[in-house]
Amino acid sequence: MNTSSDILLSRINQSLLKGLPGESAHSKLAPKHRKPASEYLNEITDYKIGCVISLIVKNNQQEWCLVLMERMSHEKDVHANQISFPGGKQEEGDASYYATASRELQEELGVNPDVVNLISPLSELYIPPSNFLVKPFLCYTHHELTYNPNDSEVRSLMEIPLSFFMEESNVIHGGFKSARGYDVNAPFYEYNSHKIWGATAMMIAEIVELLKEE
């Protein structure tokens, strides 16, 4: 996707006028066993709050991309080795959910939040394995970023073109082994041998819906 930022933002904002697609988008990339977030939240009240930033940047080929990270392996982290957006748990001193997401972006990737522009919050998403209710924020930047990833949390970084996610044929259906070695039955994207699935893929599905032309 090589459109100007004005066209990109106009397309997203036009979609937002109709409201966030939410669960209708999430369901397209949801694992087979998964219930809608609203059903989980009717049953669970002791969840933790996590906040992430879905950051749109331009790569060296002037393509709009999403910034994703491969998490490091930690024994107690149920999402270890998976591909995710930068983000983490809300802390007591955070002024808002967006402040949490911005702090985590800087801590994990070394990106100054001052060069990032908020487009819109996205639909919240409950993650059963870690008991997190995730608050995602869609953002973009005009700046050429210099990353300084936290090597205790981030194994690798990737800028994946939005055009890759918008191509429906890149959604793969079928079972596979997760990075932690267990069987998964869920739709997923595969980019440079990295499988992108679960909550991250579901959030991407909502972004894709916002980017679709009428």
Can you give the pLDDT of all 214 residues of the chain as single tens digits? 767 888 999 999 999 999 999 999 999 999 888 888 788 888 888 999 999 999 999 999 999 999 999 988 655 555 456 899 999 999 999 999 999 999 999 999 999 999 999 999 999 999 988 899 999 999 999 999 999 999 999 999 999 999 999 999 999 998 877 666 678 889 999 999 999 999 999 999 999 999 997 6
What residue spans of the chain are helical by DSSP H? 5-16, 23-26, 37-43, 97-109, 162-166, 198-211
Query: Exposed, middle or buried by CB within 10 Å (0-12, 13-18, 19+), for 93?
Result: exposed
3-state secondary structure of 65: strand
Residue 73, pLDDT score: 62
| pTM confidence score | 0.92
**Domains (range + CATH), the chain:** 5-211 (3.90.79.10)
The answer to whether residues 138 and 54 touch, using CB atoms and an 8 Å cutoff, is yes
CA torsion, points 206, 185, 127, 120, in degrees to nearest 10? -10
The answer to whether residues 147 and 157 touch, using CB atoms and an 8 Å cutoff, is yes
Helix, strand, coil percent values for the chain (each to nearest 5): 30, 30, 40
Inter-CA distances, 63 with 4, 16, 93, 114, 126, Å: 10, 22, 36, 22, 31
**CA dist., res. 202 & res. 205, Å (int):** 5
